[in-house]
Amino acid sequence: MNTVTSRTVVVLAGGISHERDVSLRSGRRVADGLLDRGHTVILREPDATLLSYLESNRPDVVWPALHGASGEDGALRALLDALDITYVGSQSGSSRLAWNKPTAKVIVARAGFSTPESITLPRDTFRELGSAQVLDRVASQFGTDLVVKPAQGGSAQGVSMVADTDDLRRGVVEAYTYGDVALIERRISGTEISVGIIDTGDGPFALPAVEIEPRLGVYGYDARYNAGETRFFTPARLSPEITELAQSTALSIHNTLALRHISRVDLIIDDDGVVWFLEANVLPGLTETSLVPQAIQAAGLNLGEVYEALGEKAIADASV
């Protein structure tokens, strides 16, 4: 990743999603890395003036550091495509599919990968069929060792670990505060890891796996973004064989979901060495405590150079 021509880059951060604060931190880190590489960087919010600004000024590339629906559901990316604006990251259709966790699970399962058994529960179904009846049937089918999460969203917001029927009810209600659809999954015990995928010009490749060990046992929002709440091991404390399997699985899932440039695939390795897919992140966190930056540095790469190379890859793809 050699020095390239100085570019004008618009970094998008903030927005109105639940993950606004995380996005602002990610955007600042990306902007700083690009500034260190000598690029002209404009850090902007996705507001009502953005599209006209981009159309009038036409930067070399847009670097979205937007988490949550405002950046990962595909809508903004479709508008950038309509304006013929080059941007880093997955295209709109792939983003939309990966952003929806139940949809991504179906695609990945059909490709032959393991993912926890689950049920998708819209709020309207929960109300119309009677919450008590619905939860009784869910508990009967899946037991109560479960994870409940919003069907869309990130940063572990609205995610609950369930141990009994009271937890299940609270977890579903909590998930509905972040969206209209809850995903209820059977909980898999094992080693939680995350594998970043980047493409800096020679095709996508897996970064070192990051093992996640939360101090309180749950990798929730505070554990993700408050220093000291989680121990990270990069590379993960796995055997070489399991490490290779996890990385190849993550890379295959990245390709199966037709993601591009950068993504993060979250996995759990059970005691039998089975790799379970949890979810894929279209734009992973890039804050000072986030997993992909840790993995980039563990691979011996410079963050600013990687962010620059991802921009160059986006420009190269747009010219094809």
Question: Which residues make Cβ contacts (< 8 Å) with residue 111, sequence separation at least 6?
Answer: 252, 253, 256
- Report pLDDT for 43: 97
3-class SS at 119? strand
Whether 290 sits among the annotated catalytic residues: the reply is yes
Is there a single domain that holds both residue 195 and residue 262? yes
| Residue 83 sits in the same domain as residue 3 | yes
Spatial CA neighbour of 93 closest among 252, 259, 320, 250 = 259
262 with 280: CB under 8 angstroms?
Answer: no
pLDDT on residue 1: 47
Determine the structural domain holding residue 166 and report its residue range. 118-186
Phi-psi region of 2 (alpha: psi -120 to 50; beta: other; left: phi over 0): beta
Q: Same domain, yes or no, for 310 and 292?
A: yes
Scanning the structure block, which residue is given the tokens 């493409």? 199
- Which contiguous run of DSSP H or E holds residue 255? helix 240-256
Catalytic site includes residue 17: no
Provide the pLDDT for residue 161.
87
Cis peptide before 59 (omega within 30 of 0): no
CA 142 – CA 229 distance, rounded (Å) = 30
Residue type present at position 253:
I
Please count the residues of the chain. Answer: 320
Domain boundary among 139, 165, 186: 186
Label residue 4 exposed, middle or buried (CB < 10 Å: 0-12, 13-18, 19+).
middle
pLDDT the model gives residue 297 = 96
**What pLDDT, on the 0 to 100 scale, is given for residue 220?**
46
Which candidate in 72, 118, 290, 308 is catalytic?
A: 290
Determine which one of 19, 45, 72, 185 is catalytic: 19
* CATH code, domain with 87: 3.30.470.20
Q: Beta-carbon neighbour count of residue 12 at 10 Å? A: 27
Q: Binding site annotation covers 266?
A: yes
pLDDT value at residue 225: 47
Residue 168 belongs to a domain with what CATH number? 3.30.1490.20
| Residue of 155, 160, 194, 263 with catalytic role | 155
Residue after which a domain boundary falls, among 186, 209, 232: 186
In the predicted model, residues of the chain with pLDDT beneath 70 are 1-3, 154-156, 216-229
Residues 196 and 175 in one domain: no
Residue 276 is classified by DSSP as E
Instruction: Read off the pLDDT of residues 26-49 as tens digits, 9 standing for 90 and up.
Output: 999 999 999 999 999 999 999 999
Is 55 among the catalytic positions? Answer: no
160 & 241 share domain: no
279 is in an annotated binding site: yes
Read off the amino acid at residue 8: T
Q: What share of the chain is helix, strand, coil (3-state, %, to 5)?
A: 40, 20, 35
- To the question of whether residue 281 is assigned a binding role by annotation, the answer is yes
